[in-house]
């Protein structure tokens, strides 16, 4: 969870800090192309471990908002 979360956060910072439209488009495609794979890699071990559904949902929500938070911070730092 920490590794994938940090990876998503740093990808968001890179996207938010990019000022070139071409670079931002490339980063957006890269993030979208593998975000679902990262979510799958995160969800499989939790499913097999018998974690309750409520925790699955909370972890999924946290993982989903990490990249947008990184984008916001990257955007704020680039100004």
pLDDT of residue 67: 93
- Tens digits of pLDDT across the chain (79 residues): 788 889 999 999 999 999 889 989 999 999 989 888 888 888 888 888 888 889 888 988 998 999 999 999 999 998 7
Record the pTM.
0.84
Alpha-carbon torsion 38, 53, 2, 71, what sign? positive
Alpha-carbon torsion 53, 56, 61, 64, what sign? negative
- CB proximity list for 55: less than 8 A, separation 6 or greater: 46
Tell me the HSE value of 3 on the side-chain side, using a 13 A CA sphere. 3
pLDDT of residue 41: 87
pLDDT of residue 16: 93
């Amino acid at each position: 969870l920490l590794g994938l979360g940090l990876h998503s956060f740093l990808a968001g910072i890179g996207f938010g800090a990019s000022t070139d439209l071409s670079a931002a488009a490339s980063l957006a495609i890269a993030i979208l192309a593998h975000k679902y794979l990262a979510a799958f890699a995160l969800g499989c071990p939790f499913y097999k471990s018998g974690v309750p559904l409520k925790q699955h949902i909370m972890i999924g929500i946290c993982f989903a908002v990490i990249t947008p938070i990184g984008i916001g911070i990257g955007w704020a730092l680039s100004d």
